[in-house]
Structure 1
């Protein structure tokens, strides 16, 4: 896993969303630059589709309710039809390796929301791996957000 560097994270809030509200709807689009290692987090009421590239290697997330609890749902495109099974396997491995970095970046990038609503740190993160190949298409619980706190002393 790559090491999270907050200096390489750039956060943008879209119209209607501030550092502290609303929680619903609140959607996250995390993209990156392979050349610079920079991460770009866009937080809005909708996903930032204009930031998504044809490779579909972005991380999309949103807050949802499940009964009386909050859940953070993440959606990843392991393949987009043009990838064969071997390429999908490689993308699946890359997503799994880099997902802790992505979740740390999202948690850090929206830290003011988490400071305002500390219960969000205890919300489970449900990852949906989307794929045409059954061995990669699955949902997994990656634990609560407090597992992805950025610790500057590490």
Structure 2
């Protein structure tokens, strides 16, 4: 995965989800093919667990709300005890490098939703790096979806 190419993105809406609603619950499962570089975005009420491979290199995200404020929460499985520390460090770097592409794909793939709710472009994106190793387990703010809008 390098530069975002809309032609390489496939989007699937699961039962209970449309291109414009609902906001909550709305969960995103982004997977990819290492061979073709294709991206696969599944949007549903729940994550698309059937699309996830044993390497756990997917990007999972969902909308959450505290009071009247929406934010987007992402979960990345750095290792979950499946890898040694060196492998976890490498996966951590790959996730950090590829995350802008993933967020751009999610924003573009659900563009009709963002058109219906333009204020969500300003929602904070919180990334949860999940790891058995304390040096990789953390939470970071990655700005807003406005920063990940695709411009051809």
How much has 1:89 moved relative to structure 2? 0.1
How much has 1:63 moved relative to structure 2? 0.1
Provide TM-score, normalisation by structure 2: 0.99
How much has 1:80 moved relative to structure 2? 2.5
How much has 1:2 moved relative to structure 2? 1.0
1:56–1:80 Cα contact (<8 Å) kept: no
Who is 2:115 aligned against?
A: 115
Who is 1:23 aligned against?
A: 23
Stretches (4+) displaced over 3 A: none
Q: Does 1:77 align with 2:58?
A: no
Counterpart secondary structure, 1:87: helix
Who is 1:39 aligned against?
A: 39
Who is 2:56 aligned against?
A: 56
1:62–1:74 Cα contact (<8 Å) kept: yes
Distance 1:66 1:98 in 2: 28
Distance 2:91 2:82 in 1: 12
Q: Does 1:138 align with 2:134?
A: no
Distance 1:109 1:64 in 2: 19
C-alpha RMSD of matched pairs (Å): 0.8
How much has 1:45 moved relative to structure 2? 0.1
Provide TM-score, normalisation by structure 1: 0.97
Aligned length: 152
Deviation track 1:119-145 (CA, whole Å, cap 9, x = no partner) reads 000000000000010110000000011
Distance 1:90 1:101 in 2: 18
Counterpart secondary structure, 1:96: helix
How much has 1:66 moved relative to structure 2? 2.0
Who is 1:66 aligned against?
A: 66
Counterpart secondary structure, 2:135: coil
Structure 1 unmatched ranges of 5 or more? none
Distance 1:85 1:54 in 2: 18
Counterpart secondary structure, 1:91: helix
